[in-house]
A and B are shown apart, each in its own frame.
Chain A
Amino acid sequence: MLRNLPIAWRITVLVLLGAGLVLGAVSLYSYLSARDFLEQQKRAEILANAHATANRIDTVTRSVEKIVRGLANSVDDIEPGQRRAVVLLRRTVAQNPELYGSGIGYEPSLYGRLAPYVYQPSGVYGTEQSLETRAASDLVVTDLGRGGRAYEIGDWFQLPAQMHRAAWTEPYYDEGGGNIVMATYAVPVHLRHDSLPVSAVVGGDVSLYWLTRLLESLDLGASGYAVLVSQTGTFIANPNQDLIMNESVFSVAEARRDPRLRAIGRQMIAGRTGYVACDGLKTLAPQESSWLAYTPVPSTGWSLGIVFADSEISGDVVALSRIQWLMALGGIAALLVVALLIAGSITRPLAGLDAATRTLARGDLDAPLPKARGRDEIAHLTASFGQMRDDLQAHIEELRVTTAARERIESELRIAASIQMSLVPRTFPPFPERDDLELNALLEPAREVGGDFYDFFFLDDDHLCLAVADVSGKGVPAALLMAVTRSFLRSLAREGGGPAEILAKVNEELAADNEECMFVTMFLALVDVRTGAVAYASAGHNRPFVVNGAGRATQVPRVRGVALGAKVGMEYAEGVLTLAPADTLFLYTDGVSEAMDAHDEVFGEERLGTELERICAGTCGDVLEELLAALGRHAAGVEQWDDITMVAFRYLGSPGASRDGAG
């Protein structure tokens, strides 16, 4: 798919892909480490906040413990029922704004139900100003044992009385006093002379309203809130008022069927410090996922928890990561532009080159190539293309010139061929008025015009001149020499003389100005058609066959003589033979005997004789046709190499001639 895109886009996409991966990896790494860092920081911050708040509470509860212990020390020399006890309580409550109230409960089995109690029901209780505004007259003095009320069943009395040690009670709703939720620090007191280990319990109350106010005043962000749980996990403070005193971490865990929350609760009431994921502590149902930092209030055994929504903690991380992702996106966008520009600058010359080569490919070699700047690969490529185009132009020009030359030669060859063909008689039968002979000839020029020719003409009524010649060389010179040779033959034959004499004369003429050193082989026969007597001479030519009436082929006897035109002053021997009626004289050139087959085997004179014997029954025309066909079969598609020239002459006998001359 990528391969179908332009190179500029491919480069851009690949660069972006690579850079995007690197950028993404870097962003991811920095996001993760930043998130870790931020979370650590937040965690430390929340835990520090929790510690600070727990310490604030602890300061108050410890101060209450100190006050109550001091009170207990002062009480043990006051006889039960003495007015001094109430004065002491009043003073203590008035001077210590942390205290909601304070009282002394005497062991009923020793002293009857007697429990003086002083408290401060005013709304300003627990605030900074209360010390100034709390006048002794605002205090309420009462007896918790009035009307026989069984104060001894309360935890504040029961716990120290039974455990013989000071204790913080579970927070409780005090219906008798100010109808507030409070917790009491209670110290056992042993009065002198008493038989029981605990004669009385001195208690100091701390209002949880004050605690709730304190926790509400904490700045814990949008989602953060603080909870305080007692030693039993019961909520003492919670933004959800309904949960206070009613629910504990464990009841919430049970309602949610969340054993993990129960485990967290156990850690809290065990006085541990921790930072855990939790589903919120504001409602019975699980809320959004949050983080809970908890730490103990050591004096009371309570545990302070600060809850933060996960989303708020991750909010900073999200903001950070948003910036990072935006930067990454911006970077990639900038990279896209840069990559496109760079890729474009690289590929623009390429595109120009591409367009130019397309024009070039359509044949317009004059179209300009883009200018190559610099020395880079594209410049080289452009230069190479220019070189290639110039070479191509030169080559085409050369080709055009050579083609023109060749066309000229070919036209010359065509002219030569037409000369060659026009010089030989081609009308058969050539002598229709004669019934004493039969004559046919055939000249099959090769592709390149050669110099074969044949000729026959009557010197007078009785003497027929037959000639077959092969001019050395090919082409126009051969054709011209052939024309010249024929002219000489025709004119010199008419001057009289035998074949040898005629050949000698022709030789003289040809050899005289033969600067080209061209020569001609020729077989020349003079037939006396009255007797069938044949006089012949050969200028280096193949020996013709004589096929008698019985179908037997023999070559004419060899006569001495060299090719015409080679040298002046040559002598030629003359042979004679006599044709019986129905004998056929077969003349040919080496194009026949040396016709090649595919294996460079020549047709051969022997085979020629055999073929002649086979086909001699037909007319002369038939014989030539059949022989040509036999040559074609032999060649079997191999291109004809030389002119094929054949002349068949059958002597039919003169009605008035004697048969004696035969032999």
Chain B
Amino acid sequence: MKRRVVTVAAVTLVAAALLVVLWPGGQRAEGALPLEKAALMLQWEPQAQFAGYYMALEKGFYRDHGLDVEILPGGAAIDPVDALRRGKVDFATSFLTGAITAAAGGVPLVDVGQMVNGSSLMLVARRSVIKDRDDLDGRRVSLWGTSFRSAYLGYFETTRVKPKIVPQYYSVNLFLQRGVDACAAMEYNEYHTIIQAGVEPGELTTFSMREAGFGFPEDGIYALAATVRERPAVCRAFVAASLEGWEYCRDHPDEAVTSVMRYASAAHVPTNRVHQRWMLDHVIAAIFPAENDGWRPGVLARTDYERVKAIMIGEGLISGAPSYERFVAAPARSAP
């Protein structure tokens, strides 16, 4: 009789312990503490390129990491690095080349988490005029502003073609209306926009910067050096939650696209579901490495940084840039 009482008590204790461990709130023992406020500014209008951050917010991953995050959309007229510099936001996403340019210009930027290590940059040309690389010579080619040009300029340099560069902004209509023979494109975005404008893939010649050896890491999460120094836990939590958001997108792409469409609609961004799905699939592939991809999500490899920096200096886009250790926060650095 006595032994039985003991058994029951033991079972109850074990069950209670399990409950404590497995309870959703159990992970966050400091749940009672107030959430840390953090603002993120994205470098462009709402689209699947940022699905991971939206899902981290919607699914409560930021909250679970003790953060109360606000996401501010970017746009043509908005400069997230500037917002970061002026302390308007705590985090901003940026293209690596853009961030290096800013850092070279004196903005104390630190890469706290390199989300996109794959490269989507490409040149899209009309096959009727441009069949191969050499045909680019002397042709009108539109490229985005300075910080996006590095890979293309490197490519033209190596391949010794000299196209006439025309500024390219947020639309590919100049290309579609035949104002240029080729234009810059993200495989996940503009390329598909061109296809969705009724151009057949067979009518296009594409040049992938990745395949040409100019595949640069792209979107990273940046904070000011002061933030990294003073609130390292917040930075770590933010990057970890963002990665969880991206993992969620990878596992629930339909739900993620639905969310993105909602944000886009709220921001009056004209887009459609198939396009966002295309974008999400390509961005996910650029975040989570395939078997032969050498990167780790969240980490900016030293070799990549040094390579991009050297190319940009070589192109005269910058005269110098911070060291790897200064530019990349410790958790985002690759093993030495």
Contact = CB atoms under 8 A, between A and B. Distances in A.
B146 interface: no
A266 B198 contact: yes
A149 B76 CA distance: 10
Contacts of A158: 167, 169, 171, 173-174
Interface in B180-206: 180, 195-198, 200
Interface in A592-642: none
Interface string B162-180: 0000110111011011111
A284 interface: yes
Contacts of A284: 273
Contacts of A149: 77
Contacts of B173: 155, 158-159, 169-170, 232
Nearest to B197: A232
A162 B275 CA distance: 28
Contact of B198 (A163, A169, A262): A262
B271 interface: yes
A251 B198 contact: no
B274 interface: yes
A233 interface: yes
A250 B180 contact: no
B319 interface: no
A224 interface: no
A269 to B, nearest CB: 5
Contacts of A246: 270-272
B272 A163 contact: no
A254 B169 contact: no
Nearest to B261: A246
Nearest to B275: A251
A135 interface: no
B197 A159 contact: no
A392 B327 CA distance: 135
B275 A163 contact: no
B268 interface: yes
A269 B174 contact: no
B197 A233 contact: yes
Contacts of B274: 251, 254-255
A199 B198 CA distance: 33
Count class of interface residues, chain A: 20 to 34
A247 B270 CA distance: 8
B218 to A, nearest CB: 21
B174 A163 contact: yes
Contacts of B169: 153-154, 158
A269 B198 contact: yes
Interface residues of B, number: 27
Most buried by A among B77, B142, B166: B77
Contacts, number: 80
Given A150-B76, A158-B169, A162-B179, A250 B196 contact: yes
Interface in B131-152: 142
Contacts of B271: 246
Contacts of A169: 173
A624 to B, nearest CB: 130
A175 B268 CA distance: 9
A173 interface: yes
A254 B76 contact: no
Interface in A246-302: 246-251, 254-255, 262, 265-266, 269, 284
A245 interface: yes
A295 B171 CA distance: 26
Given A159-B177, A167-B177, A173-B268, A153 B170 contact: yes
B198 A150 contact: no
Contacts of A150: 76-77
B176 A231 contact: yes
Given A162-B179, A231-B176, A246-B272, A155 B195 contact: no
Contact of B197 (A172, A175, A248): A248
Most buried by A among B173, B200, B268, B271: B173
Contacts of B178: 163
A158 B166 CA distance: 10
B168 to A, nearest CB: 9
A159 B271 CA distance: 21
A85 to B, nearest CB: 24
B273 A170 contact: no
A265 B196 CA distance: 10
Contact of A159 (B167, B174, B196, B275): B174
Contact of A155 (B167, B171, B200, B268): B171
B270 A245 contact: yes
A162 B270 contact: no
Interface in A327-384: none
Contacts of B272: 246-248, 251, 255
Given A150-B76, A173-B270, A284-B273, A162 B180 contact: yes
A249 B77 CA distance: 30
Nearest to A248: B196
Given A159-B177, A163-B179, A246-B272, A232 B198 contact: yes
A266 B196 CA distance: 10
B190 to A, nearest CB: 12
Contacts of B270: 172-173, 234, 245-246
A265 B177 CA distance: 17
Interface in B61-104: 76-77
A654 to B, nearest CB: 153
Contacts of B166: 162
A159 B179 contact: yes
A68 B198 CA distance: 29
Most buried by B among A233, A246, A266: A246
B75 to A, nearest CB: 9
A528 to B, nearest CB: 154
Nearest to A243: B272
A254 B196 contact: yes
Contacts of A245: 270
Given A170-B171, A245-B270, A251-B275, A231 B76 contact: no
B198 A153 contact: no
A284 B261 CA distance: 14
Interface in B262-287: 268, 270-275
B149 to A, nearest CB: 16
A115 to B, nearest CB: 14
A79 to B, nearest CB: 26
A262 B272 CA distance: 16
A149 to B, nearest CB: 6
Given A162-B166, A255-B274, A250 B195 contact: yes
A172 B178 CA distance: 19
Most buried by A among B180, B195, B274: B274
A88 to B, nearest CB: 28
Contacts of A153: 76, 169-170
Contact of A250 (B142, B171, B198, B273): B198
Nearest to A245: B270
Contact of B273 (A175, A255, A266): A255
Interface of B: 76-77, 142, 166-167, 169-171, 173-174, 176-180, 195-198, 200, 268, 270-275
Interface of A: 149-150, 153-155, 158-159, 162-163, 167, 169-170, 172-173, 175, 231-234, 245-251, 254-255, 262, 265-266, 269, 284
19 contacts: A159-B174, A162-B180, A163-B177, A170-B171, A170-B173, A231-B177, A231-B197, A232-B196, A232-B197, A233-B198, A234-B197, A234-B270, A246-B271, A250-B198, A251-B275, A255-B272, A255-B273, A269-B198, A284-B273
Given A231-B197, A245-B270, A250-B197, 16 more contacts: A150-B76, A153-B169, A153-B170, A159-B177, A162-B180, A163-B177, A173-B270, A232-B176, A248-B272, A249-B198, A250-B198, A251-B196, A265-B198, A266-B200, A269-B197, A284-B273
Shortest Cβ-Cβ A-B pairs, 8 listed:
A232-B197, A153-B169, A245-B270, A163-B179, A251-B272, A254-B274, A247-B272, A162-B179
